[in-house]
């Protein structure tokens, strides 16, 4: 029974932690109250079972098992919703970066036709593409880790591993965005040089 109560508390805690991927301040603000409520429920169940005999202990154990199953089901549902929202934001962000990369590649082709040296630009754009591929792989790994949390014995540890991987994906995407900005700055300089050369000629 104590083990079941621990599972319930663990499920409630991880439910709060999963929400932290979306609203960190709100989630960790609610963490303390969620844990306190689950501890009180476990203590109350233990006291009732101790004072009423074997039959009621059995019933209390069954109720605790059902509560544990319900907590796990709720955890899976919360994780699913969090992942859906995260996936939409991630896909939107990567799609925007891909569109920007394509536009910069087109501009690089045009400037190259006008005599501009766009070798460094192509290098930055190629690095951006590689980083986006890496970010997607990291995000897929984070998603798999997050979906497994409900089935893990150490759910807090499982969440930490999933969160670390998810943050790595965001950091990699940020690096890809930095490469795009660098490519855009290079193209601007090249365009200005070509313009100045035309005026001089």
Sequence-distant (≥ 6) Cβ neighbours of residue 21 within 8 angstroms: 82, 86, 163, 166
Residue 15, pLDDT score:
55
pLDDT tens-digit profile of 5-16? 555 455 555 555
Residue 32, pLDDT score:
40
Residue 76, pLDDT score:
87
104/55: higher pLDDT: 104
Tokens coding 113: 């036709």
The fraction of the chain above a pLDDT of 90, given in percent, is: 51
Mean pLDDT, residues 42-48 taken together: 41
Mean pLDDT, residues 33-59 taken together: 44
Evaluate whether 78 touches 15 at the Cβ level (below 8 Å).
yes
Q: Predicted confidence band at 59 (pLDDT cuts at 50, 70, 90)?
A: low
Range of the domain at 39: 2-200
17-48 residues labelled b (16+ CB within 10 A) or e (exposed): bbbbbeeeeebeeebeebeeebeebbeebbee
* Tally of domains within the chain: 1
Q: Predicted confidence band at 64 (pLDDT cuts at 50, 70, 90)?
A: confident
Give dist(CA 20, CA 16) in Å, integer.
7
199/69: higher pLDDT: 69
pLDDT tens-digit profile of 67-115? 777 878 888 888 899 899 999 999 999 999 999 999 999 999 999 999 9
Evaluate whether 118 touches 187 at the Cβ level (below 8 Å).
yes
Which strand (E) or helix (H) includes residue 180? helix 155-200
111-126 residues labelled b (16+ CB within 10 A) or e (exposed): beeeebebeebbebbe
Q: Is this structure's pTM higher than 0.75? A: no
């Amino acid at each position: 029974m104590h083990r079941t109560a621990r599972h319930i508390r663990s499920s409630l805690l991880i439910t709060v932690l999963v929400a932290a991927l979306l609203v960190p301040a709100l989630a960790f603000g609610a963490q303390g109250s969620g844990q306190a409520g689950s501890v009180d429920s476990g203590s109350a169940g233990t006291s009732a079972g101790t004072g009423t005999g074997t039959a009621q202990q059995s019933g209390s154990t069954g109720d605790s098992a059902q509560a544990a199953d319900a907590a796990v089901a709720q955890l899976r549902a919360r994780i699913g919703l969090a992942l859906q929202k995260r996936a939409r934001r991630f896909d939107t962000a990567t799609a925007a970066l891909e569109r920007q990369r394509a536009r910069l590649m087109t501009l690089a082709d045009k400037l190259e036709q006008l005599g501009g040296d766009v070798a460094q630009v192509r290098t930055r754009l190629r690095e951006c593409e590689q980083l986006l591929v890496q970010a997607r792989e990291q995000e897929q790994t984070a998603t798999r880790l997050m979906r497994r949390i409900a089935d893990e014995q150490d759910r807090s540890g499982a969440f930490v591993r999933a969160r670390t991987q998810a943050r790595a994906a965001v950091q990699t995407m940020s690096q890809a965005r930095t490469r795009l900005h660098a490519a855009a700055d290079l193209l601007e300089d090249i365009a200005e040089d070509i313009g100045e050369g035309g005026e001089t000629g």
